[in-house]
């Protein structure tokens, strides 16, 4: 007999699931209709098949919006009977993170991808003109593949996709679900992982998925061109879309890099994590393909290479998704999702796009416009082709090493990645970078088809010498020369590229403005590489532990103990050129903020610089997640994060209730043996970390919630405390009430003290102050790591400039299309 569950909100989930099925069916209808419009209705204007294709795609878009509304309803209203809402949200999440919870899970990520691809497809319906039918056939087919990822229905006992509207009781087995009132026991969801509760979670995934979605458009044009045997015609309209895809995906990747640098405890902007690597596979290949497309458009050379790279870029988009979402990188990446049972579905998706690529290239091979004449060695097209080849090799190296878990799964081997994986990637990728940036420089001095060789060598030689001099200066001042020689070569090529493209940009302002976009993009890439080489290669850990203090074995698994320093609260510690003090902390759930004060003091004891950083720690389910804070300078950053702390609860110093005073009396075990001092006003009490001065007595002291009669006495001792150059005050109280003696201690947590006013000695005109001092082991502390990143702003500035260059190039190519 079926259980009648109470309190479940089934309607929004049922509507959402209806829209999922509708979106899949509409995409399938659109794909089939556009296919027949392309094959059977050639030459017919606004054929029935084309109208059906358009209608199906627009219904697909509307259905996806409906899915989004239903899913957001579950999340916003905390319907925890749904697995997605329970797994990724909680009642304590702010509205911003409730919004970002939409794409927190795998299903939400696919929906975001599906939405952006639907938006782009709708744009193409109205703007692609004669290319609409074949291009939209490919886009609609891609929508079918994506929609299947969230379908969540069983066919012949096999579940296809994973629906975000799956009920909690359907997703897991537990005794609680035998109770019709099980929802009464589910008061909250699991919530969002603390590290994801960041504003970058709101803007990075939408940008990245727009980049992934946009990769299908140049792919669709390439497929359409081969399919319709319009081998040359597809290139010009595809270039603006390829530029757009490179711009958006590149922006999304760098947003992730900035998120890691600013908010995640990865120790920098790029860690060569497998999922990070996978995200740039399609970008590298499409950038290479874009350059060869331009070569073909201008010279007719390298058609096959251009087409192959454009097609491959979308295949790699799906392969990247497979690496991230299949669970195969679960043991090698901190970013990857667990498998939702879509492993083989993702594999099939890759082979769908790979199969189309291979079939079209093989079947059309004899008809492809391949030139018989080789490019001139001193022509621009030859060296742009060479640059594209090296970009392809760069991607191939990343792909092979990143895919070690895949090779192990396929061949049942136990291959391991290189022992020092970061050094491995840095050295080999820097070698590729040297060639690539060198080509982006001297190819600007080359002409298409034929170049004056003598003039070329004179000009490029001059710029190479100037770049060499500047590189020597930069390498010496930054310390890059101490690194692998390949780093210096890559630096030389990057400086050279910036100089040459700077000249091209200057010429653009003299009338050759059509060259401005590529020059700006190349300048940005050169600056990006300069910043990456210096900051990653010469970053310096300034929190060197020279105390001999060791940490436990569990800590050492994640962190290098030599690069982490223990800083006790209000106890200054020397860190490189700085004196660092942990001065306090505060809690704003789920964040625990720590105030780390930095001071630079000259030989005369004068403070020449001072600032406070506020790294934070989030504790969830017993796991500590740290986020850094960074001091930005024009030419360097000081990056700080907490790696360990014993200060995980809020301090309540100065509480004046009798209950708090009673609790304070019961925690004597947290202090060393008390020491009594008989003092009078103006006297000083010395203790380990400083001194205490009795500045006066208040004979009308009050204690909260304790009323006093005329015969009662309450005296407060005004104490000024100086601890490690920091000043505090406290007023412990001595009380006689109803003939009984009480005293109310005061704690000064920042100084590690508890102070009692325990006795009045009238005959000596003195009072007794009892001092409890925390042992070093009980004092609040943080273990922190601080890293100095020099010239990191070149990396960020280069990224922004490169994106601007892509945008300028898009505008140029769109203008060219209008004039054709």
Q: For residue 464, give every residue at least 6 positions away whose Cβ sits within 8 Å of its Cβ, in sequence order, or none.
A: 496
Least confident of 102-111, 260-269, 379-388, 446-455: 260-269
Which of 180-189, 219-228, 468-477, 665-674 has the highest average model confidence (pLDDT)?
A: 219-228
Helix 106-127 and helix 48-76: axis angle, to 10°?
150
The CATH code of domain 658-777 reads 2.60.98
CA distances from 390 to 292, 297, 488, 533 (A): 12, 21, 19, 19
pLDDT at 147: 96
What is the number of other CB atoms lying within 10 angstroms of the CB of residue 42? 10
Domain ranges of the chain: 1-192, 553-647+781-790, 658-777
In this predicted model, what pLDDT tens digit does every residue of 433-462 receive, in sequence order? Answer: 999 999 999 888 888 777 788 888 899 999
> What rounded mean pLDDT belongs to the chain?
88
Kindly indicate the confidence band of residue 774, based on its pLDDT and cuts at 50, 70 and 90. Answer: confident
Kindly indicate the confidence band of residue 308, based on its pLDDT and cuts at 50, 70 and 90. Answer: very high
Backbone φ and ψ for 46, nearest 5 degrees, come out as 45, 55
Kindly indicate the confidence band of residue 25, based on its pLDDT and cuts at 50, 70 and 90. Answer: very high
As given in the structure block, the two tokens for residue 522 are 């190349």
pLDDT at 658: 41
CA dist 137 and 126 (Å) reads 14
CA dist 21 and 8 (Å) reads 22
pTM value is: 0.85
Task: Please state the rounded mean pLDDT for residues 671-688.
Answer: 91
Q: With pLDDT > 90 as the criterion, what percentage of the chain qualifies?
A: 54
Task: Please state the rounded mean pLDDT for residues 748-761.
Answer: 88
Kindly indicate the confidence band of residue 420, based on its pLDDT and cuts at 50, 70 and 90. Answer: confident
**Residue 655: pLDDT above 70?**
no
Task: Please state the rounded mean pLDDT for residues 220-246.
Answer: 96
Q: DSSP string spanning 297-353? A: HHHS--HHHHHHHHHHHHHHHHHHHHHHHSSTTTTT-SSPPPP-S-HHHHHHHHHHH
pLDDT at 492: 96
Asked if 769 and 760 count as a contact pair (C-beta separation under 8 A), the reply is no
Which of 91-100, 280-289, 471-480, 515-524 has the highest average model confidence (pLDDT)?
A: 280-289
In this predicted model, what pLDDT tens digit does every residue of 236-291 receive, in sequence order? Answer: 999 999 999 999 999 999 998 888 887 766 677 888 888 889 999 999 999 999 99
User: DSSP label at 103?
Assistant: G
Kindly indicate the confidence band of residue 333, based on its pLDDT and cuts at 50, 70 and 90. Answer: low
Q: Is cis: bond before 195, omega within 30 of 0?
A: no
**Residue 475: pLDDT above 60?**
yes
**Residue 229: pLDDT above 80?**
yes
pLDDT at 285: 97
**Residue 788: pLDDT above 70?**
yes
Kindly indicate the confidence band of residue 820, based on its pLDDT and cuts at 50, 70 and 90. Answer: low
User: DSSP label at 657?
Assistant: B
Note the Cα 25 to chain centre separation in Å: 35
Helix runs in 340-483, H state only: 343-363, 380-402, 404-411, 421-442, 453-478
The residue with greater pLDDT, 337 or 174, is 174
Backbone φ and ψ for 456, nearest 5 degrees, come out as -60, -50
pLDDT at 557: 66
Which among 147, 121, 127, 149 is positioned nearest to 34, based on CA atoms? 121
Kindly indicate the confidence band of residue 819, based on its pLDDT and cuts at 50, 70 and 90. Answer: low
**Residue 334: pLDDT above 70?**
no
pLDDT at 664: 43
As given in the structure block, the two tokens for residue 725 are 């150059």
- Range 528-546 burial, b when 16+ CB lie within 10 A, else e: bbbbbbbbbbbbebbbebe
In this predicted model, what pLDDT tens digit does every residue of 704-737 receive, in sequence order? Answer: 888 888 888 999 999 999 987 778 899 999 998 8
CA dist 140 and 220 (Å) reads 10
As given in the structure block, the two tokens for residue 394 are 């760069």
């Amino acid at each position: 007999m079926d259980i009648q569950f109470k309190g479940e909100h089934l309607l929004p989930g049922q509507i959402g699931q209806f829209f999922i099925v509708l979106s899949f069916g509409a995409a399938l209808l659109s794909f089939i209709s556009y296919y027949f419009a392309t094959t059977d209705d050639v030459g017919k204007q606004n054929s029935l098949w084309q109208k059906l294709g358009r209608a199906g795609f627009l219904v697909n878009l509307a259905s996806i919006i409906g899915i989004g509304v239903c899913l957001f309803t579950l999340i916003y209203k905390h319907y925890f009977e749904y697995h997605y809402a329970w797994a990724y949200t909680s009642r304590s999440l702010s509205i911003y993170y409730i919004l970002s919870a939409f794409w927190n899970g795998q299903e939400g990520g696919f929906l975001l991808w599906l939405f952006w691809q639907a938006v782009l497809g709708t744009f193409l319906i109205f703007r692609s003109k004669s290319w609409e039918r074949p291009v939209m056939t490919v886009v609609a087919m891609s929508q079918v593949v994506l929609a299947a990822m969230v379908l969540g229905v069983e066919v012949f006992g096999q579940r296809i996709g994973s629906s975000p509207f799956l009920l909690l009781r359907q997703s897991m087995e537990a005794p609680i679900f035998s109770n019709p009132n099980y929802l009464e026991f589910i008061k909250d969801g699991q919530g969002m992982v603390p590290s994801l509760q960041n504003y970058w979670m709101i803007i990075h995934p939408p940008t990245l998925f727009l980049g992934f979605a946009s990769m299908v458009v140049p792919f669709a044009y390439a497929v359409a061109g081969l399919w319709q045997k319009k081998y040359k015609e597809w290139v010009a309209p595809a270039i603006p879309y390829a530029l757009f895809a490179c711009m958006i995906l590149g922006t999304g990747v760098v947003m992730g890099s900035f998120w890691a640098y600013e908010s995640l405890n990865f120790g920098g902007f790029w860690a060569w994590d497998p999922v990070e690597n996978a995200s740039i596979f399609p970008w590298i290949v499409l950038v290479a393909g874009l350059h060869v497309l331009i070569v073909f458009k201008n010279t007719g050379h390298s058609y096959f290479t251009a087409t192959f790279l454009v097609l491959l870029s979308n295949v790699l988009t799906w392969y990247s998704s497979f690496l991230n979402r299949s669970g195969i990188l679960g043991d090698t990446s901190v970013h990857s999702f667990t498998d939702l049972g879509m492993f083989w579905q993702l594999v099939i998706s890759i082979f769908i796009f790979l199969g189309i690529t291979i079939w079209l290239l093989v079947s059309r091979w004899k008809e492809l416009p391949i030139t018989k004449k080789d490019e001139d060695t001193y022509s621009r097209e030859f060296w742009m082709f060479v640059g594209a080849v090296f970009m392809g090799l760069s991607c191939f190296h990343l792909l092979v090493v990143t895919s070690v878990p895949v090779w192990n799964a396929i061949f049942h081997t136990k291959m391991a990645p290189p022992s020092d994986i970061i050094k491995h990637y840095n050295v080999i990728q820097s070698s590729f970078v040297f060639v690539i940036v060198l080509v982006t420089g001297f190819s600007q001095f080359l002409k298409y088809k034929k170049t004056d060789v003598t003039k070329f060598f004179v000009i490029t030689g001059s710029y190479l010498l100037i770049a060499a001099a500047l590189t020597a200066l930069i390498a010496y001042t930054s310390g890059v020369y101490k690194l692998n020689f390949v780093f210096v070569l890559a630096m030389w090529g990057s400086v050279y590229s910036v100089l040459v493209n700077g000249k091209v940009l200057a010429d653009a302002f003299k009338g050759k403005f059509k060259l401005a976009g590529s020059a700006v993009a190349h300048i940005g890439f050169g600056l990006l590489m300069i910043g990456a080489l210096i900051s990653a290669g010469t970053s310096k850990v300034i929190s060197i532990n020279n105390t001999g203090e060791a940490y436990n074995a569990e800590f050492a698994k994640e962190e290098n103990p030599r690069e982490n320093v223990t800083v006790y609260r209000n106890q200054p510690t020397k860190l490189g050129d700085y004196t660092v003090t942990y001065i306090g902390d505060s809690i704003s759930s789920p964040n625990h903020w720590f105030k780390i004060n930095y001071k630079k003091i000259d030989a005369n004891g004068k403070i020449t610089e001072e600032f406070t950083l506020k790294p934070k720690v989030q504790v969830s389910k017993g796991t500590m997640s740290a986020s850094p804070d960074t001091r930005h300078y024009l030419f360097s950053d000081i990056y700080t994060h907490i790696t360990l702390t014993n200060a995980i609860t809020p301090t309540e110093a100065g509480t004046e209730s009798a209950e708090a005073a009673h609790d304070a009396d019961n925690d004597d075990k947290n202090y060393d043996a008390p020491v009594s001092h008989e003092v009078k006003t103006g006297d000083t009490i010395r203790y380990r970390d400083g001194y205490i001065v009795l500045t006066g007595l208040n004979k009308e002291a009050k204690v909260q919630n304790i009323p006093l009669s005329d015969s009662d006495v309450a005296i407060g001792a005004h104490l000024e405390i100086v601890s490690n150059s920091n000043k505090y005050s406290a007023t412990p109280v001595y009380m006689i009430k109803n003939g009984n003696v009480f005293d109310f201690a005061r704690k000064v947590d920042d100084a590690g003290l508890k102070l009692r006013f325990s006795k009045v000695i009238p005959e000596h005109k003195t009072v007794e102050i009892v001092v409890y001092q925390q042992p070093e082991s009980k004092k609040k502390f943080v273990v922190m790591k601080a890293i100095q990143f020099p010239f990191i702003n070149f990396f960020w500035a280069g990224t922004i400039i490169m994106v601007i260059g892509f945008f300028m190039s898009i505008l140029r190519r769109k203008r060219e299309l209008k004039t054709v």
